[in-house]
Amino acid sequence: MATSQRLKYKKFSVDRKWIFLGLSVWFISFFIEIIPIIFLTFFCVINSAMLSFKRYFDAPLDPEFSTFSAILMTVRYGLLFGIITAILTKLVSMIYIKNIKVNYFFMMTGYIVAALLADVFKGYGVVTLGLIVTLLANVYQFFIRKFVVNYSTFEIISYGVTNIIFNSVLFIGFADIFIKIMI
């Protein structure tokens, strides 16, 4: 009876790698701001997961977290973090989906423009700022898609409309929540 009772319960153990990881993050936090890096990592992961459909088919859709995250990181942590987020969220997703195209680097400049515009117009509320910057960044992307990478009219409209709708939903539904939790 005592043996079967003992088998029900496992001995509590903590893997040493998690203790080491926690202590390392705690130690590093004395030298650099760790919270923005945690959010940067989160945005890279969520953007890569969102764009993973591009591994299987390349539809002219642009539901991405790069614009949203670049604007939020600029508002909360400054322009440098916004630009780094704009670059890394797209770069990590390109590596993750194993599809690196030259036009993606041009699209990355649109996310950098979003971070720059967010810094310029940061006096607005985050939702209003996000909607304005999303529209302006898509105007910039229109010219890039039309005159630099030579997309068709259908692709330009499809990418632009899906991006504006997706980012509008993100900003209206989640921007205030993220700004509050981004310490």
**Range of 156's domain?**
35-181
Q: Is residue 100 part of a domain?
A: yes
Structural domain count, the chain: 1
Q: Is residue 75 part of a domain?
A: yes
Q: Is residue 158 part of a domain?
A: yes
Which residues, 6 or more positions from 169, have their beta carbon under 8 angstroms from its beta carbon? none
Q: Is residue 128 part of a domain?
A: yes
> Phi and psi at residue 64, in whole multiples of 5°?
-130, 155
- The 10 Å CB-count burial string (b at 16+, else e) for 105-144 is eebbbbbbbbbbbbbeeeeeebbebbbbbbebbbebbbeb
Q: Is residue 154 part of a domain?
A: yes
Q: Is residue 112 part of a domain?
A: yes
**CA of 57: how far to CAs of 51, 52, 61, in Å?**
11, 9, 11
Burial of 75 (0-12, 13-18, 19+ CB in 10 A): buried
Helix axes 126-143, 102-120, angle to 10 degrees: 140
Successive 10-residue mean pLDDT values, the chain, 183 residues: 58 74 79 87 91 81 93 96 96 88 89 97 94 97 93 93 96 96 89
pLDDT of residue 7: 58
Q: Is residue 161 part of a domain?
A: yes
pLDDT of residue 2: 55
Place of tokens 């919270």: 35
Q: Is residue 27 part of a domain?
A: no
pLDDT of residue 10: 63
